[in-house]
Chains A and B, each alone.
Chain A
Amino acid sequence: MVDRSAFGKISEYVWEVPRSFRDDMRVPARLYASSEMLGAAISDKTAQQLVNMATLPGAVRWAAAMPDAHQGYGFCIGGVLATRLPDGVISPGGVGYDINCGVRLLRSELEQEAVGPHMQELMTSIDRKCPSGVGKGGKLRITGKELDQLLVEGAGWALKKGYARPEDLERTESGGRIAGALPSKLSPRAKNRGVPQVGTLGAGNHFVEVDVVEEVLDEEASSAFGLWPGQVVVQIHTGSRGLGHQVASDYVKRFQGAVRKYGIRLPDRELVCAPFDSPEGKDYFGAMCAAANYAFSNRQVLTHWVRQSFQEILSAHTSDWDLHQVYDIAHNIAKVETHSVDGEEVKLCVHRKGATRAFGPGFGELPAEYRSVGQPVLVPGSMGTASWVMVGTERSMELSFGSSCHGAGRSMSRTKAKKTVWGSDLLKQLEGEGIVVRAGSMAGLAEEAPVAYKDVDMVVEVVHNIGLARKVARLRPLGVMKG
């Protein structure tokens, strides 16, 4: 049991459970949160799961939970843990099932007034072109051999096939391709699940949303990202679909044996892990990179179809219908990165589960136009509420291995949300607020009701005040399409 007394206050919004709290902790456990958020983390299993993360072999500095953290399984959602290579562990449960679930932001050159009259047709077109919903396959027919190429090349595969532009890849985390993918380390089942789902949104909390930039708070960064007040933008939120889930399932099961082999004792079987440089660790990392590349490619293909919808509906009214990529980031991933730990530059395996990378200015991977301001950090809110664009900071390197929040974070169970909210009532409410909704399932819509999430503005306020990332622009939804 981890209660309020376990946490010491380090500073405003920074709480820590010391390593001495439990014998099996290898590092302290840190929560970045307001006092209210701390209360919520204790009331479900978030705090418990954060402390459990701190038991993984090779963990350095501290296990961290972002302000949007909530109960997950194994790691809490919003959890960040770094282990020292080569013998620190990698944990499939520390990445999660939807490997490289992530968000992409596209910007138009259009003002809300130009798009507003066509929103109904636009959302219908997006709904028609982007396959979504439970068990829905995609429109692409690819062979097993093509899937293997896609798993290695990521968004580069989409570029070769005409679904991307070179600048899309430049404005994607890791260029839309993580090196080290090993398609041979995926089971036939994972590939069977992946073949029919390239270019599909899926269900659950995944969406395509058309927004307007409501407010700009950082002129320099918003100018670098090409964002301005009144501008219409698009967010795409999805991941690696059934393929990623199967990779995670396969390796969580395989690693049940690995922990016995390596003599690792853990408080939860979902935390299973293996040394990064062990055969099991290498196999999982290769499979995870492949699944991550699948997700980059998936969001890229969806981008192509959203562009087609903008062209189909808006080109009769304006020549400026096109969409340009702002950025694409992963929020379920493990990456090999170099960080400064105790004054020494060390290679780490950084697990981000429901957390995004948030590197500050000067990071070499960023496109030239972003390098002086930092990496865009995309924070989608709950359906019908605001979303945020933030920018990474140097301070996040010290606090969270260059990581920040990934969204609003749930605060209410799906079971309770279903009992509290009727999907059809919510639909009416959102439409009453002028938001055009296309949803495959009313029950699914109810589970994603805004009341089931934390207030994204509060989450972003805490992130900003701690310095994990800085506010750049606030987005307001005009239309949302959900599976």
Chain B
Amino acid sequence: MFEEIEHTADYAVRVRGTDLRELFVEAARGMNALTGGRPGQPSRCRELVLEAPDAETLLVSWLEELVFLMEVEGEIVDQFEILGLTPTSLKARLTGGPAVDVDKAVKAVTFHELAIRETGDGYETTIVFDV
């Protein structure tokens, strides 16, 4: 699950997941929700492989891929199939389509106080976005 939390200048989202896979998927859904957009037709599928030195950097890289797709390809992804995930690597299949009804742009994903914490129920983090 994700919830938007208060930030004076930009956007912040608190994300929880029972495991890292759910955390990454919910983070992507949370970011999509901020933009207000949805994918139109035709749908498009692509695979993504990422590596990073730690889980937080991997999370930022994952979300940055979606920012880039939105801005350069004009595409929103709303189906995230995680094929493999460790704290330093990710393989996923993304399905989306041309962005429709976007009224807010997420321009960048920050590292501000970014830490993925283990909780009794799984994982939790808060992500601040530049808008």
Contacts and interface: CB of A to CB of B under 8 A. Distances in A.
A416 interface: yes
Nearest to A354: B9
B10 A414 contact: yes
Residue from the set B68, B111, B113 with the largest chain A CB neighbour count within 10 Å: B111
B125 interface: no
A268 interface: yes
Interface stretch (A65-73, A80-88, A315-323): A65-73
Interface string B47-73: 000000100110011001000101110
A134 B102 contact: yes
Contacts of A156: none
Range of interface residues on chain A?
35 or more
A73 B112 contact: yes
B56 A269 contact: yes
Nearest to A202: B105
B57 A135 contact: no
Contacts of A272: 111
B53 A204 contact: no
A313 to B, nearest CB: 28
Contact of A242 (B102, B107, B109): B107
Nearest to A77: B9
Contacts of A44: 8
B108 interface: yes
A270 interface: yes
Nearest to A189: B68
A272 B53 CA distance: 15
B111 A413 contact: no
Interface stretch (A176-184, A249-257, A364-372, A465-473): A249-257
Contacts of B81: none
Contact of B108 (A135, A245, A268, A443): A245
Given A134-B103, A414-B7, A414-B131, A256 B111 contact: yes
Interface string A121-139: 0000000000000110000
B4 interface: yes
Interface string A401-444: 00000000011111110000000000000000000000011111
B8 A204 contact: no
B117 interface: no
B121 interface: no
Interface in A49-75: 70-74
Contact of A411 (B8, B53, B131): B8
B113 A270 contact: yes
A459 B1 CA distance: 39
A74 B7 CA distance: 13
Interface string A195-238: 00000001110000000000000000000000000000000000
A242 B53 contact: no
Contacts of B102: 134-135
A256 B111 CA distance: 9
Contacts of B72: 189, 192-193, 242
